[in-house]
């Protein structure tokens, strides 16, 4: 007597894991983002800048690109454009906030960026400066009252944050080095190796730049320091 053999089920195909490229100039932020993506079931690779990210994309096309913009490119536009050219099928996201603080982080999906028409591109607002008040874009700063408002809404700055903002505003689009900023805000010379200016700048940016306004304001000047300049957000959801 023979027994019928059970048909063997075809081997199941392994589930494909979506590939993600995380572009982050700060290694700590990059690893924090990659860890969050891995926990969500993605296969992340980390790149420090657009050049490294494009090289990574050529090794294997990503399904998703997450961009943590550097200080000197707060919109992430140029990085997004380069990645779209290298991996046109990938979904592009730009991070706002701190990936190490989930409550402060949000990812904004962006459309494939294109080069703006120089005729129709929105101009950068010029700061209107008086002795006691500076207005640029939607930001208004009053020295006598010691306050700053965005579209009429008070920003709730601390005394140090306000002094930093007023110092940058009075420079009227010029870049100030960290030593000059420290002297104006704290009234003494900056000690070598101190990062207090950068820490204060990050605190100010959380209140001035990380909202839903039409502009970013506190810009990094590579090799110099910082300046206050209203720059339209170049990438929109």
Range of the domain at 76: 19-110
- Is the same domain home to 98 and 169? no
Q: What is the CATH number of the domain that holds 38?
A: 3.40.50.2300
Residue 199: pLDDT band with limits 50, 70, 90: very high
pTM exceeds cut of 0.85: no
| Predicted local confidence at residue 93, as pLDDT | 84
Residue 157: pLDDT band with limits 50, 70, 90: very high
d(CA 139, CA 98): 23
Counting the structural domains of the chain, the total is: 2
- Is the same domain home to 25 and 72? yes
- Is the same domain home to 165 and 97? no
DSSP assignment string, 97-147: S-TTSGGG-EEEEEPPP-PPPTTTSPPPPPPEE-SSEEEETTEEEETTTTE
In three-state secondary structure terms, 18 is coil
Last residue of a domain, one of 51, 83, 110: 110
Q: Is residue 202 part of a domain?
A: yes
- Give kind and range of the element (H or E) at residue 215: strand 215-221
């Amino acid at each position: 007597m023979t027994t019928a053999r059970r048909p063997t089920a075809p081997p199941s195909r392994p589930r494909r894991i979506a590939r993600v490229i995380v572009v982050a100039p700060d290694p700590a932020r990059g690893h924090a983002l990659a860890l969050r993506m891995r926990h969500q079931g993605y296969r992340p690779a980390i790149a420090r800048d657009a050049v490294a990210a494009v090289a990574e994309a050529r090794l294997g096309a990503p399904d998703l690109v997450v961009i943590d913009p550097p200080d000197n490119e707060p919109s992430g536009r140029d990085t997004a454009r380069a990645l779209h050219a290298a991996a046109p099928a990938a979904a592009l996201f730009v991070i706002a906030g701190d990936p190490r603080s989930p409550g402060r982080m949000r990812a904004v999906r962006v459309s494939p960026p294109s080069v703006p028409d120089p005729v129709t591109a929105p101009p950068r607002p010029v700061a209107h400066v008086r002795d006691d008040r500076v207005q640029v874009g939607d930001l208004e700063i009053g020295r006598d009252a010691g306050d700053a408002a965005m579209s009429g809404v008070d920003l709730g700055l601390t005394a140090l944050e306000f002094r930093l903002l007023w110092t940058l505003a009075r420079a009227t689009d010029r870049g100030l080095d960290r030593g000059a900023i420290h002297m104006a805000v704290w009234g003494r010379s900056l000690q070598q190796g101190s990062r207090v200016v950068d820490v204060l700048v990050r605190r100010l940016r959380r209140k001035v730049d990380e909202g839903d306004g039409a502009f970013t304001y506190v810009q990094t000047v590579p090799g110099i320091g910082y300046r206050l300049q209203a720059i339209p957000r170049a990438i929109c959801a």
